[in-house]
Amino acid sequence: LSAKLNKPVITCVFGSRWVVEYFLKDSYRYKIPVMAQISHAIKAFKFMYDFSKSNKNLNINTEI
């Protein structure tokens, strides 16, 4: 993929085999590309991190 697109490729490993099966199952069932699912997951994690960080700046104790 890196050679084909002439861009670096980042591989994220989220955990065990069931996570991969979860992504592949939904990809097949709903015709959603795996990379789109991973992209949305990364955006969600970033949102949760930013939300937690902003609450700490406001001295609000929120755990995610």
**Given this model, what pLDDT does residue 40 score?**
81
Mean pLDDT by 10 residues, the chain (64 residues): 72 68 74 78 86 75 58
Check residue 26 and report its DSSP letter. Answer: H
**The predicted structure's pLDDT at residue 4:** 78
Given this model, what pLDDT does residue 9 score? 67
As a residue count, the chain comes to: 64
pLDDT the model gives residue 31 = 79
| pTM for the predicted model, two decimal places | 0.47
Q: Where are the domains of the chain?
A: 2-57
